[in-house]
Chains A and B, each alone.
Chain A
C-alpha cells in the first residue's frame, strides 16, 4: 500500500504495470539539501537558515513563500549561482562545489520570471542552439536537436522569428525549448509563469507537465500561483529563510486564510467559505475542490 501511494502521488494515475526496479528509481532522491545557510553581503539575517530537504526523482515539487522569504535564493543555491557557505547540496550523486558546479549545471535547466532577460539569440533557432554551442555539440548533431526541441514546445512556426516579436508565453516556450535541447534531468521554474496572462500561464503549465512526462524531468517550481502549486506532488513552504512546512497540496490548501501569509493566494473555495462564515454559515473545515463544495452546498440546500 505504501508503494501504491508513492506511485499515485507521483503520477496522479496508477497504471498498474510498474516494475519494482522503476519503483526504486521513483523513490530515489535526485537532490539532497542538508543544513544549507546563506547570507547576502553583510546582512544580519541569513537569507537561508539551516534548510534541509530532499527532492525525489521524477516528482513535481513546489516551493512557496511570500516575496523575500528566501525561495529564489534557495533555487539559485541548487544551481551553484550563489556560493553558499554552510551546508551541502548533492545533485544526482554529485556534491556541489567549485569543482563540480559545471557538471551540476549540466543536470539543471532553469527558467526565470522575466522572459526578456534570458534571450541571447537573434532568432528563436539561434537562441535554442546557444546552450548546445556552449557545449560544443557538432553542427550535424545540433540541427536535429534544435528542431526537435522547438517542435516539442510547439514553436515550429516561429523558428525564424526574432524573440522580441513574441508574446510573453511564447518567449517562455522558447526558453523551455532551450532547456529541452540540452536534456537536463531537473527543471527549475523560478516564478516562470508570474508575468504571463492567464491563457499563457495555463499553456505553460500544460507544456511543463508534458515535458516532465516525455523527458522524465524532475520539476521544482517556485511560485505564488495556486494552480501551479496544485500541480505539484509536494509543497515546501519557506518563511524567513527557513523551511516551515512540507505537505501535499490538499493539506496546504486546507490552511484556508493562513495561505496568504505563506505567499499563496486563497483557492476560490476558501474565499467562498470565509464569505459564508461571515454570514453565519459554517462550511466543513477541510479543503474542498470546487466540485466538492458544489456538492456540499447542493446537499445542504436541497434537503429541507
Chain B
C-alpha cells in the first residue's frame, strides 16, 4: 500500500492549555511495497507519526492517504475499521500483549474478532506460527512458557494473522540478543520480499537502516527534516553528526580512509558495500602483495 502524508500536523490535547504539538507539517510519499525506516531522537515524533498510519491517532490538520483510504481530522472510527485490518502494528515489546491460554488461541484471536470462523482462524494461526519460524508443535503450549524472543515471534504472528498489507514495527528488536535481532530483521525482510508487505520501521539501529531499508525519514522535534532513499539520507555523514545521529560504522570507516585519499562512489553504508569497493581497488592496484 502506498502511503502519503500531506501537511499533517498533530497536537496532543489540542485546544487545552496542555496542548503539545508532536508533528508539524509532515509531508511525504512512500511507494507501494516500500521499506521505510524512521529515525530520530527519543521524543522527535517517530511513534506519533506511525500511529497516524493506522489512525490510532488522527491528524489535527492535514490529510493521510493509504491506497484508497483517506484520513482527515473528521474521519470517524467506523470508517477506519477496514483500514486497520490492512495496517498491522507491532508495538514495542509486543510480547507484553499476549494473554491467551495457548499460542494458537492467541494468534487466532484477531482474525476471529474480525469475523473469521474458529476453525479457519486456528488453521491460519498454525500457518502464521510457521511463518515466524516456530514449529506447529508450539500451538498448544502456553505463550508464557516461551523465551522472550519466542514470545515476540508469537505476538508478531498474531499481527500477521490479520493479513496486513502494511506492517508497522516500533523498535521490534529492542532487548533481543544479537542473534535474535538478526533473525527478527531477516523475518521482516522475507515478508517484505516474498509477500510484498510495505514495511515501516521505527529504529535507533543505523546498521539495520543501512542494511534493510529502502527509504529513510529523519524526524527532529516533530518535523520531517529529511526524506529520501538510504543513500540520500546517509550520504552526508557530517549532516548526521551535526544532528547528533549515529553514522553507520561502514560509513565512518570509509570516511576515515577518505582522509588518506581513498575515493568512494558512492559512500559505502554497509560492510558488504565497503568490502566490494575495497576489493575493486585491490584488483586495480595489482596482486603483488597480500
Contacts and interface: CB of A to CB of B under 8 A. Distances in A.
Interface string B264-283: 00000001101110110110
A301 B179 contact: no
Q: Which of B147, B275, B276, B282 has the most CB of A within 10 A?
A: B275
Nearest to A279: B279
A50 interface: no
B7 interface: no
Interface residues of A, number: 42
A66 B148 CA distance: 12
B289 A303 contact: yes
B242 to A, nearest CB: 14
A271 B271 contact: yes
B204 A198 contact: yes
Task: State the main secondary structure of chain B at its contact with A.
Answer: helix
B13 to A, nearest CB: 15
B197 to A, nearest CB: 26
A87 B243 CA distance: 52
Contacts of B279: 276, 279-281
A81 interface: no
A66 B179 contact: yes
Contacts of B43: 167
B253 A224 contact: no
Contacts of A66: 177, 179
A67 interface: yes
B175 A197 contact: no
A291 B253 CA distance: 9
Interface in A232-279: 260-261, 263-266, 268, 271-272, 274-276, 278-279
Interface in B211-262: 244, 246, 249-250, 252-253, 256-257, 260, 262
Contacts of B276: 275, 279
A197 B178 CA distance: 15
Contacts of A200: 42
A1 B283 CA distance: 45
A297 interface: yes
A301 B285 contact: yes
A300 B179 contact: no
B116 interface: no
Contact of A67 (B176, B246, B257, B275): B176
A21 B252 CA distance: 44
B288 interface: yes
B272 to A, nearest CB: 5
Nearest to A265: B178
A299 B286 CA distance: 14
A191 B252 CA distance: 27
A261 B177 CA distance: 10
Interface in A177-212: 191, 194-195, 197-200
A276 B278 contact: yes
A304 B286 contact: yes
Contact of A290 (B147, B179, B256, B282): B256
A248 B275 CA distance: 28
Q: Which of A68, A197, A293, A298 has the most CB of B within 10 A?
A: A197
A298 B271 contact: no
A293 B204 CA distance: 26
B179 A260 contact: yes
Contact of B274 (A261, A263, A275): A275
A168 interface: yes
A281 B282 contact: yes
B42 A168 contact: yes
A275 B275 contact: yes
A90 interface: no
Interface string A279-290: 111100000001
A28 interface: no
Interface in B12-26: none
B180 interface: yes
Interface of A: 66-68, 113, 167-169, 191, 194-195, 197-200, 224, 260-261, 263-266, 268, 271-272, 274-276, 278-282, 290-291, 293-294, 297-298, 300-301, 303-304
12 contacts: A66-B179, A67-B149, A67-B176, A195-B174, A224-B177, A260-B179, A265-B178, A272-B274, A294-B257, A297-B257, A304-B288, A304-B289
Question: Sorted from nearest, which 3 A-B pairs have the closest CB atoms?
Answer: A275-B275, A265-B178, A279-B279
